[in-house]
Amino acid sequence: MTDISIRIEGRAGRITLQRPKALNALTYDMVLAIEDALDEWRAADIDLILLDAEGERAFCSGGDIADMYKSGQEGNLDYGRQFWRDEYRLNAKIFEYPKPVVSFLQGFTMGGGVGVGCHGSLRIVGDSSQIAMPECGIGLVPDVGGSLMLALAPGRVGEYLGLTASRMGAADAIFAGFADAYAPEVDWPELKAGMIETGKLPTLKTAVPKGSLEDLVPQIDTHFAGETLGDIARSLANDSSDFAQSALKALNRNAPLAMACSMAIIRRLRSANSIRQALDQEFRYTYRAVAQGDFIEGIRAAIIDRDRTPKWAHAGPESVTEMDVSQMLMPLGGNALNWKEMP
C-alpha cells in the first residue's frame, strides 16, 4: 500500500503515513493496515512501535471524510458506522498496547490524527506542531478517544478546546495532555535512529518554548464552567476581552448540537478510567451523526462546496435542549461498540 509504509527496522516496528499531499489524512484501508500490524507485532521480537509521517505540513490532518459524505448522501449509514467502529477499536489498541508506542507529531495533528498519534507512550512535538480537535466545526464531537484527553485536561481547558476547536502548539499540547515532550525537529532523525538501534525510549530534556494556554486558564475556568452551552455563550458575550470575543466567535461558528453533546461527553468522562468509556460515548453520537445530526451539512460546507456557511439544525448555542442532547447520546443497545474483538 503506497499510502502507508509498515515494516520492522532493528528493534522497532515502524509505521509511516505516506499521503503528504493529502496532509496524511487517514483512509479506511490505512486504519485496517495499522491495526493488522499492531496485532502481528504483539508477539514479534521488537521493543517498541515508532509512528511518523512523510512531509513537513502534517503528521495526520484527520480522517478522509469525503467517502463518508458520499455514502451519507446516498442514504448509506453503514459505511460511516463501520469506519468509526473499526477506527475506535484501533484507538483503543494503541492506548492499551503492551509495548511502547512513540509518535512524532509535526505540523497538523487533528481529529483522526490525534486518535493514531496521541494515545501512545511517548508523544513528541516540535516547533511546527499544531494539534486540535476540530470536529464541532463539521457537526461531530471530538472523538477517536480525544474526549478522554479533553476530560482530563486542567480545569475547563477541555471544554474550551473541544468547543472552540482551538489549535495547540507544542507547549500547549503538553500542558493539555495531548503530548509528552518537545524536541527540535532537526533532532528527530537521530532520535528515531537511536530507538531503532537500541529499542529504548530517549530521554528528552530540551525546554519547550512558551505557550499561551496555561496563562488563559483563569479566564477559561470562569467562562466554560457554565451548566449549559447557552450559559457559556452568555458568559463570553458579557466579557469584552479579546479572549472572550474570540471564543464566542468560535461558538457562533461551530455546530450547536455537536458542542452541547461534546460538553456532556467531556463532563461524563471526568471520572473515567478507560479509553473504552470515552469511545463508547463518542460512538453514540457518531453512530447517529449522519441520520440525525449536522455532519453531512458540516462536510458540505467545509470540503465539498467550501462556502464555510453551514446551515446548522439549531439557530445558536442557546437553542439546544437537554432532550436534543439526550437523543444523540442515548445508549445504543445491541449496536454499541463490541469490545469482544479486543485482546
pLDDT digits (tens, 9 = 90+) for 32-68: 999 999 999 999 999 999 999 999 999 999 987 777 7
Asked whether residue 91 falls in the same domain as residue 201, the answer is yes
Is 79 within 8 Å of 67 (Cβ atoms)? yes
Asked whether residue 175 falls in the same domain as residue 153, the answer is no
Give the chain's domain count.
2
Average pLDDT over residues 131-149: 97
pLDDT (0 to 100) of residue 26: 95
| Domain encompassing residue 106 | 1-132+170-210
C-alpha cell at 248: 464566542
pLDDT tens string 69-96:
788 788 788 888 999 999 999 999 999 9
Asked whether residue 59 falls in the same domain as residue 187, the answer is yes
Asked whether residue 222 falls in the same domain as residue 125, the answer is no
Asked whether residue 14 falls in the same domain as residue 120, the answer is yes
Asked whether residue 258 falls in the same domain as residue 187, the answer is no
Asked whether residue 177 falls in the same domain as residue 309, the answer is no
Average pLDDT over residues 5-14: 98
Asked whether residue 110 falls in the same domain as residue 237, the answer is no
Average pLDDT over residues 306-314: 93
**Measured between alpha carbons, how far is residue 316 from residues 20, 62, 81, 256 in Å?**
36, 26, 27, 6
**214 pLDDT more than 70:** yes
Is 99 domain-assigned? yes
pLDDT (0 to 100) of residue 1: 59
Is 165 domain-assigned? no
Rounded-to-integer distance, Cα 97 and Cα 99, Å? 6
Asked whether residue 29 falls in the same domain as residue 71, the answer is yes
Helix axes 256-268, 157-164, angle to 10 degrees: 150
For residue 311, how many other CB atoms are within 10 A of its CB?
8
Asked whether residue 179 falls in the same domain as residue 220, the answer is no
**140 pLDDT more than 80:** yes
CATH of the domain at 244: 3.90.226.10
pLDDT (0 to 100) of residue 330: 98
pLDDT (0 to 100) of residue 67: 77
Asked whether residue 58 falls in the same domain as residue 188, the answer is yes
pLDDT tens string 261-276:
999 999 999 999 899 9
Per-residue confidence band for 103, with pLDDT thresholds at 50, 70 and 90: very high
pLDDT (0 to 100) of residue 273: 85
Asked whether residue 155 falls in the same domain as residue 182, the answer is no
Q: Which of 102, 267, 257, 89 is nearest to 179 (CA)?
A: 102
Per-residue confidence band for 303, with pLDDT thresholds at 50, 70 and 90: confident
pLDDT (0 to 100) of residue 114: 98
Is 84 domain-assigned? yes
Q: Residue 130 pairs with which residues in a beta bridge? A: 108
pLDDT (0 to 100) of residue 56: 95
pLDDT tens string 183-199:
999 999 999 999 999 99
Per-residue confidence band for 209, with pLDDT thresholds at 50, 70 and 90: confident
- Average pLDDT score, the chain: 95
Rounded-to-integer distance, Cα 61 and Cα 44, Å? 30
